[in-house]
Amino acid sequence: MTGKVFFFEPIFKTKIWGGDKLKDFGYDIPSDKTGELWAISAHPNGQSIVKNGEYKGSTLGELWENHREIFGGISGDKFPLLVKIIDANKDLSVQVHPDNEYAQRYENGELGKTECWYILDCCEDAKMVYGVNANSREELNDMIDKGQWEELLKIIPIKKGDFFYVPSGTVHALKAGTLVLEIQQNSDTTYRLYDYDRRDDEGNLRELNIQKSKEVIELKFSNRQSKPIVDYIDGMTKIKFIESPYFTVEKFEIEGCVSLENEHPFMLMSVVDGDGELTVEEDRYSIEKGDHFMLSSKVPKYELKGKLKIMVSYV
């Protein structure tokens, strides 16, 4: 089938805080410090390669450059989204991301980074950093300069199945024992605010980006979370978690068979549990936990069958 359903080869990233939980998705990971799987990406630091069909061997970036009709002819210099799975075996650094305007000015035209997390799994009593307790820019800078991290950082409990919206400017950090699916803008710009005085494999303290962090941190912490909208369709429960300027994210929980319409330039899908079948016209694809694929604008209708949980994102 020409230019309709695209499956991608996984890209793995070794991290100082990574682990081996990605094996649970059936992946052949390169090490027991595998921190990230870039599942669907057109970023220069990790390009997804198509593993099926007419465009097998092409990168997602090449498709975006040369076959914009696959994406409904939408505009933009860069493919807008990036989908990852993150295995935080140890605490991640406390970090913040810039918005589009700041990143384009100071990071060579990079996009800003608004993201969201769906908690695939986590240890009992798991927590994460999500925001700051400072009430003014002066108070924020003073607490940073004095290293008052316990007072500054807002720590919240998390559990499996939680969803968190993390707009640019939000101070955040996953903590040890957390596995998340991350859907984000197509960016790899992170400012490290605090790293627990941790050293890299060579014994050096890891670089911090204090000044840039101070400049981009948003103090107002309203409207970070939206109430999920639940829609019951015969054979499926659809949960819309977020509709933001950069992406909409939904979860499809399927038991049985459901026929659906695609009203978007493209749809990114990550199977986070179960197995089943995707049917587009005459073509059928077996799908299972750990598969990531894209439906192009050339797919007006499709069918999903089985017992499946799928995270879905689109612009």
pLDDT of residue 223: 53
Which superfamily does 229-314 belong to?
Jelly Rolls (2.60.120.10)
Q: Say how far apart CA 262 and CA 296 lie, in whole Å.
A: 9
Residue 105 is among the residues annotated as catalytic for this protein: no
pLDDT of residue 220: 78
Query: Could you tell me which residues are annotated as the binding site for Zn(2+)?
Result: 97, 115, 172
pLDDT of residue 222: 56
Domains 5-216 and 229-314 share a fold: yes
Residues with Cβ within 8 Å of residue 280, at least 6 apart in sequence? 1, 4, 5, 295, 299, 301, 302, 303
Tens of pLDDT, residue by residue, the chain (315 residues): 478 999 999 999 999 999 999 999 999 999 999 999 999 999 999 999 999 999 999 999 999 999 999 999 999 999 999 999 999 999 999 999 999 999 999 999 999 999 999 999 999 999 999 999 999 999 999 999 999 999 999 999 999 999 999 999 999 999 999 999 999 999 999 999 999 988 887 888 889 999 999 999 998 765 567 789 999 998 999 999 999 999 999 999 999 999 999 999 999 999 999 999 999 999 999 999 999 999 999 999 999 999 999 999 999
Which superfamily does 5-216 belong to?
Jelly Rolls (2.60.120.10)
Q: Where exactly are the structural domains of the chain?
A: 5-216, 229-314
Q: Following DSSP, what letter does each residue of 214-277 receive, concatenated?
A: HHH------S---PPEEEEETTEEEEEEEE-SS-EEEEEEEEEEEEEE--SSEEEEEEEEEEEE
pLDDT of residue 106: 96
pLDDT of residue 3: 81
State the catalytic residue, choosing from 68, 192, 206, 224.
192
300 secondary structure, DSSP code: S
